[in-house]
Amino acid sequence: MTIIDNAVYVDGVRTATPHSLEQTFETLSEHGGMAWIGLYRPTKDEMAAVAHEFGLHHLAVEDAVSAHQRPKLERYDHNLFTVLRPARYLDETETVEFGELHVFTGPNFVVTIRHAETGGVARVRKRLEERPDLLRHGPEAVLYALLDQVVDDYAPVVAGLENDIDEIEDQLFSGDSAVSRRIYELAREVIQFQRAIHPLPDMMVLLEKGFEKYGVDIELQRSLRDVEDHVQRVISRANSFRDLLQNALTLDGTLTANRQNEASAAQNEQVKKISSWAAILFAPSFVAGVYGMNFDHMPELHWDFGYPLAVGLMFGAALLMYAIFKRKGWL
């Protein structure tokens, strides 16, 4: 069964905990109040039952069942369909895990649908049940509280990403070969995080447009504006992360190129030294090779000073080559 929690609230107080959707509908019909149904990856049949009872739009129901939606807020007559992307930072793997939360709100009901293992909805329900004065404002109070919880949970994510970026700055100058991959991984997480938070301001604007029409309580209006301020701060910091990672990637490329140039320069110096000594050794080898061919008509072979001349020529050529390469800085 995918029902996580199921309750009926009257005047902000939990008055019933039905064991099935049918009992929820009956209780709501008999006693009034507000139903809050929490589902986890519901089946088509379960969503069809909820949709039929509360008049949910079929397009929103399809999105809720299939999941993989971007954050959005859509209004269907008196019902709202909201998609949020909760996130949490995992210290063990230094990664960000993203969830998906769908919220249907109407005149007398809230249906929350989770597609990931997150405890945000349970925390919001517990907090609201301890605040009947807030919960009695109905579905709008639940929706705003869920928005507030999701945005508050972004704070540890921002702190975790910020710490990872600081570590990358240290890795850049240590010559760690894995830093480029880490930068790309972090950049991908930052982009996913931005996709989760960038639609939120427009969603807030849409909610604000309905304040007067739907008679939203003034305290809830203030609560939503406070959430909006938090969203703007999170967006500002996330945007700065992307700039920092882009700069880190550019710096990494520059440092890598410099290291390669230094290695290439060192290699060239070694090649110069090897080539110089090869040339120096070639000169006496050439002289020795010429006079070692034992031709009959070589006057120097029968000359008393032939041997000293050959030896002197070999040493002289070697010294001359050494002086030339030394002057050029190859040795």
Q: Do strands 3-10 and 95-98 pair parallel, antiparallel, or not at all (unpaired)? A: unpaired
The first and second tokens of residue 97, run together, are 């895990």
- Supply the pLDDT for residue 86: 93
Residue 206: count of CB within 10 angstroms of its CB: 15
What's the CATH class of domain 1-127?
Answer: alpha beta
Which residues face 98 on adjacent strands? 87
Q: Model's pTM, two decimal places?
A: 0.74
Ordered per-residue pLDDT tens for the chain, 331 residues: 478 899 999 999 999 999 888 899 899 888 889 999 999 988 888 888 899 889 899 999 988 888 888 999 999 888 999 999 999 999 888 889 999 999 999 999 999 999 877 778 899 999 999 999 889 998 999 999 999 999 999 999 999 999 988 888 777 777 666 778 888 888 889 999 999 999 999 999 988 888 877 777 888 888 888 899 999 999 999 988 888 888 777 776 676 666 667 667 667 777 777 777 777 677 677 666 666 666 666 666 666 666 676 777 777 777 777 777 677 776 7
Q: What is the pLDDT of residue 255?
A: 65
pLDDT of residue 127: 92
210: which DSSP letter?
Answer: T
Identify any residues that bridge with 305 across adjacent strands, giving them in sequence order: none
User: Alpha-carbon distance 19 to 78, whole Å?
Assistant: 27
Burial class (CB in 10 A: 0-12, 13-18, 19+), 292: exposed
Q: Distance between CA atoms of 155 and 233, rounded to whole angstroms? A: 10
The full DSSP string for 71-139 is SEEEEETTEEEEEE--EEEETTTTEEEE--EEEEE-SSEEEEEESS---HHHHHHHHHHT-HHHHTT-H
Query: What is the structure's pLDDT at 172?
Result: 75
Nearest CA-CA partner of 147 in 24, 60, 231, 22: 231
What pLDDT is recorded for position 1? 47
